[in-house]
Structure formats: C-alpha cells, structure tokens
C-alpha cells in the first residue's frame, strides 16, 4: 500500500527525512517539530495504513490483530514509489519500531538506501519480546471504548486536552492531531476518527507477535546505518501502567552495529508531541552527525 503523505519540502541537498508517527496518530502531528528544525529540510510525514488520510481499504474487514510489519512494508513501498534515496528515517513509538523493520528491508536492496535512523522511544523491548499470550485481543483493548463520533475538531480538542494521555501535549500539536485525525462519516452528519478504534485496538493486540519479533531481532542485527535511540525516562515505583515512562529496553542501542543511546531526563513517552522544539533539537543534532560522517 502506498501511503498518503504530508509533504514539507524545500530545496535542500540534505538527505530526505521520513518522519513516522505512533499508533492512532497521523503525519500532521509532526508539523510543529518540523517547523522547529533549523535550515531547509525535505520532510515527508506519511499517514500509516488505517490512520489519517491512508484510509483502511474499503470493504476490507479490520483484523483482530494487525502485525506491525504491515506498516514497515508499506513504508518500503512508499519510499520506492517516491524514488527516495539516502533517506533518514525518524519515528516515534510504533512508528520507530516499524522504521527499524523498513530500514533493514531497504538496506537489503541498496546498502546506502538509509543513511540514518532516529528512534524516539521505539517501544522495542528485550531480544525475544514479550509473551503474546498475555496480550489482550482487539475486542478486549480499552481503546475500543474510545468515542468515535465528533461534531468538530474543536469539540475533540476541548475534550482531550484535560485527559491524562494528552495533558502535557503542546496545545498546537494537539490541535493538529484533532484537525487531521477526523474524517466525515459515511452519512456525512458528523466527523469520525480517521484511525477507528478497531484499527488502533488491532495494533495494540499485535504486540508480542513472535513472527514479527523474530523479524525485528534480525533487522536490528543487520542494519549498518547509524542509529540513535532517544528514550524517555525510566519507569519508577508508583508509576501507573501505560505509556508514561519509556517502553524501550535500555540496552537497545548496543544491539545495533552503530547505535547510540540518548535518554531525555524528565520526559515521558510522548515527549516529541509534548516538547516538539526539544525533539527537533535532538533530531537536528543527529542529522548533523549523519551528514558529517
């Protein structure tokens, strides 16, 4: 599937950047981060399958579990269809996880297809992953209870801004998420989430898929390009369950041939959306090192 992309293009001799979002979001959530990048940059921020403008194929049922390498394969197809070369892939959460799989596949086709990876808290755990038997099915995922119909993006913004997950998001980023995350309903009487709860639930239900985990472990070992793993703070006693602290293994960077670990003190898993300028500074630093290598 060739993905719909939000293009932030300028005349630039630098490597193009492919910026990949997390589960349930879309490419427009990175608009503020991209604005904060210094200099001219050619950036493409795709909407992953079933998210944003990359609508789920009409007439195709949502699967009970949606393996994460589906998104990686779509990224590969999109890079090839756009003719991108010497690309830097930066991603957040599941988007970063998928970026690793996509980078390995692209490198197998051409050694310098990917010149660097920047992984914002990529939710990659220890080698071997987790036991998939302890992951609830899609129908049992809490996200299935998410409200799907809204009168307007403003109504969604006002409802979300006080919730725990979104409480620390930059207001402009949250507005971008709400405005880009709604699509007209089939009846045309309201707006609905562009990533329906059933799709998001199927993504969460696929955590622990052992086939994908084996492919991921092999990808990590095969990638030759430099990789920066940018982790959020560690989990501490008293933290509630969920994606507040980092969901990434502290040793992940050491598993890459050229891996560097960066931990941003005091930040949560969603820090690229909470502090887009700070995330842009980290990305810019990594880009500078890629280009000077």
Q: With b meaning 16 or more CB within 10 Å and e meaning fewer, what string describes 190-206?
A: ebbbbbbbbbbbbbbbb
Structure tokens at 137: 């099915």
Tally helices (H) and strands (E) across the chain. Answer: 9, 10
Collapsed DSSP state (helix, strand, coil) of residue 235: coil
Q: How far is CA 92 from CA 152, 167, 172, 176, in A?
A: 27, 18, 18, 16
Residue 290: per-residue pLDDT? 87
Average pLDDT per consecutive 10 residues, the chain (293 residues; last block may be shorter): 81 82 97 91 93 86 89 96 94 97 97 95 88 78 92 96 89 97 83 94 92 96 97 79 82 97 88 95 92 78
The residue written with tokens 């490419």 in the block is 27
Backbone angles phi, psi at 243, to 5 degrees: -90, 65
Q: What is the pLDDT of residue 257?
A: 97
Contact 205, 143 (CB under 8 A): no
Q: Tell me which CATH code domain 5-143+203-292 carries.
A: 3.40.50.1820
**Count of other CB atoms within 10 angstroms of residue 228:** 24
By the 8 A CB rule, do 279 and 120 touch? yes
């Amino acid at each position: 599937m060739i993905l719909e992309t939000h293009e932030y293009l300028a005349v630039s001799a630098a490597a193009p950047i492919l910026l990949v979002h997390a589960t349930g979001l879309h490419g427009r959530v990175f608009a503020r981060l991209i604005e904060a990048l210094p200099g001219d940059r050619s950036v493409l921020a795709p909407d992953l399958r079933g998210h944003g403008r990359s609508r789920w194929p009409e007439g195709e049922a949502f699967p009970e579990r949606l393996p994460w390498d589906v998104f990686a394969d779509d990224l590969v197809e999109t890079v090839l269809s756009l003719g991108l070369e010497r690309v830097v892939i930066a991603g957040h959460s599941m988007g970063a996880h998928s970026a690793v799989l996509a980078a390995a596949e692209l490198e197998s086709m051409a050694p310098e297809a990917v010149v660097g990876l920047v992984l914002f808290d990529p939710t990659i755990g220890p080698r071997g992953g987790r036991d998939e038997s302890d992951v609830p099915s899609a129908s049992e995922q809490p996200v299935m209870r998410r409200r799907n119909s809204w009168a307007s993006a403003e109504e969604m913004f006002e409802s979300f801004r006080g919730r725990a997950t979104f409480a620390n998001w930059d207001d402009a980023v949250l507005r971008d998420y709400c405005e880009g995350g709604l699509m007209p309903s089939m009846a045309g009487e309201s707006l609905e989430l562009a990533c329906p709860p059933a799709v998001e639930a199927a993504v969460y239900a696929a955590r622990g898929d052992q086939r994908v985990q084996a492919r991921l472990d092999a990808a990590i070992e095969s990638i030759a390009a430099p990789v920066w793993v940018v982790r959020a703070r560690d989990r501490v006693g008293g933290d509630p369950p969920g994606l507040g602290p980092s969901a990434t293994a502290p040793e992940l960077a050491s598993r890459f041939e050229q891996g560097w670990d960066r931990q941003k003190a005091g930040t949560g898993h969603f820090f690229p959306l909470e502090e887009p300028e700070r995330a842009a500074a980290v990305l810019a630093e990594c880009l500078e090192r890629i280009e000077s290598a």
